[in-house]
A and B are shown apart, each in its own frame.
Chain A
Amino acid sequence: MEAGTSPVIELKNFRYTYLEGTPRAVEAIRDVSLEIHRGERVAIVGATQSGKSTLVDALVYLLRLGSGQVFYEGEDVTAPGYDRGKLRREIGVVFQSPDAQIVENIVGADVAFGPTAAGIPAEETRKRVEESLNAVGLSYPEYRLRYVHALSGGQRRRVAIAGVLAMRTPVLVLDEPTAGLDPRGRRELLDLLLNLRKERELTLVVCSAGLEEASLLCDRFVVLDAGKVVMDGPAREILRRSNRLAELDISLPETVNVASELKKIFPDFPTSLLTEEELEAEILKHLGAG
């Protein structure tokens, strides 16, 4: 991120209470201030009920927002006359449950829905549908005329992601992208996202209850607890505080778990390891030293 440029997304003292003014009110976000710059890859991490999904809803203005809390490219999204449609064409959101965001009954039609609604010409839309479906691993000729509700859960999630990809949004938000997928589907999805990250200049926001996939996709972690930001910083720095993370019920990557165990033997063993290669190197180093 370049210093001095204004953040693409900014939350200022954002707070939100569900069912406000009723006896069943629940305070979901207590006070969150957050800046996300263009090109950043941010993981929003927290246990269930920590407010992740609420934060996602706020980014695209799907909640009752007070003024001066949520900014996109420096503009207050609640300002009168603000074009919410444009906001939603710039920030693509893949929600936790794919079924909720599938609008059409046929795969191809659903993926085409976003671009069509945005007024993109038919030929270009067709091209994007083909590209997006292929990107998520559903071959265009085979799947484009399938009935959405007859697909498996994992396939529906891919359709939902394809539908968002077809919008070519500069910002991509994924809420628990691998929840409910089997290990293979999970791996495939992660590969897909890693590819996307390489190919496009994306600003990526990933919500997750664990750091396993977050550490692969993102380089900055924002840790939420009970509606508040408790940690925010580069992935490695956050991983160093593995005890605190465990206290917050956040599952750690396997590499960090192994490293934490090794730390019991080698007190100076670092725990902030992102990849298996780094872990291997450290182990070799310590064995050599021992």
Chain B
Amino acid sequence: MFELQRNVIFGQFVDTGSPVHRMDPRLKLAAAFVLIVASFLIDTFAGYALVLPLLVLIHVLSRVPFGYLLRGSRFFLGFLVFILVFQVLFYPGEVQPSNVLWSWGVLSVSTTGIRFAAIVGLRVLLLYYVTTMLMLTTSLVDLTNALELVFRPLQRLRVPVNEMVLVFVIAIKFVPIFIEEIERLAKAQTARGVPFDEGGAIKRARRIGRLLVPIFISGFNRADVLTTAMNVRSYRGGRGRTKLRRMHASAGDWTALVLIISWVLVAWQFPASGWL
């Protein structure tokens, strides 16, 4: 409870100065998008097996410690396993009687269900990995600029692109702030006799209710201060705003994007038969 920050990496940026960090953020965003689409398209084990070396390559290049990523994903992975168990037990599709391994009332375990759950699990893992790595390797400034540039054409349709990107970025930025706040509250309340560090999971979860009111109040306060700060600095959306940093996509960046696209295409179209 007191070391949430150590165990949650959502929204964090870890600068190792690696080639992945230095990649043009627009192209990195595009590459992430391609991989996200891939997580929806690929539906064979062979396909995911083919994507794996690509992810390993990206990870090694990024120099983000794998242990850090793993520790920071503990909550998420636990939750995923929990959901997948239900997915298997309540598999709704048609199952041939010969595939059923165990059943009891509405619950059943079948090879078809397991295979389905495993593919879903892989999909979610890929999705999670790609978005997390995008956050870990891209600073918020880069991400904001890239998102604004990518969605700029929508501005013609009077979509408030800058404002929407800003809302998105602020939302992400608030996650670590909230985590810090929760940690601080939990500590202070523990010192007063609400033992956040003792008791079973349900007891602990109940105590979290005590944190909600102060968290909301401080959240609104922060939002208020932020609004004032932006008004004082004459924020008026993207109109007439120029950028200090210009983005440059190098030949290497383009090569990386093309490589990722073709790799994903191969993985998607890879002929797989039977169980694979």
Contact = CB atoms under 8 A, between A and B. Distances in A.
Interface of A: 18-24, 57, 60, 62-64, 84-85, 88-89, 93, 95, 97, 99-103, 105, 113-114, 117-118, 149, 163-164
Contacts of A18: 5
B6 A21 contact: yes
Contacts of A89: 193
A20 B214 CA distance: 28
Interface stretch (B91-99, B100-108, B180-188): B180-188
B213 interface: yes
Interface of B: 2-3, 5-6, 12, 14, 16, 64-65, 67-68, 71-72, 184-185, 187-195, 197-198, 210, 213-214, 217-218
Contacts of B195: 84-85
20 contacts: A18-B5, A19-B5, A22-B65, A23-B65, A24-B12, A57-B187, A60-B190, A62-B190, A63-B2, A84-B198, A95-B188, A97-B188, A102-B214, A103-B189, A103-B194, A105-B213, A113-B193, A117-B192, A118-B193, A164-B192
A20 B68 CA distance: 10
A113 B184 CA distance: 19
Contacts of A164: 192
B2 A64 contact: yes
A287 to B, nearest CB: 51
Contact of B191 (A22, A93, A102): A93
B65 A99 contact: no
B184 A100 contact: yes
Nearest to B5: A19
A53 B12 CA distance: 24
Contacts of A95: 187-188, 191
Contact of B190 (A21, A23, A88): A88
Given A21-B6, A97-B184, A62 B191 contact: yes
A-B complex: 6 closest residue pairs judged by Cβ atoms: A101-B188, A100-B188, A117-B193, A62-B187, A93-B191, A23-B14
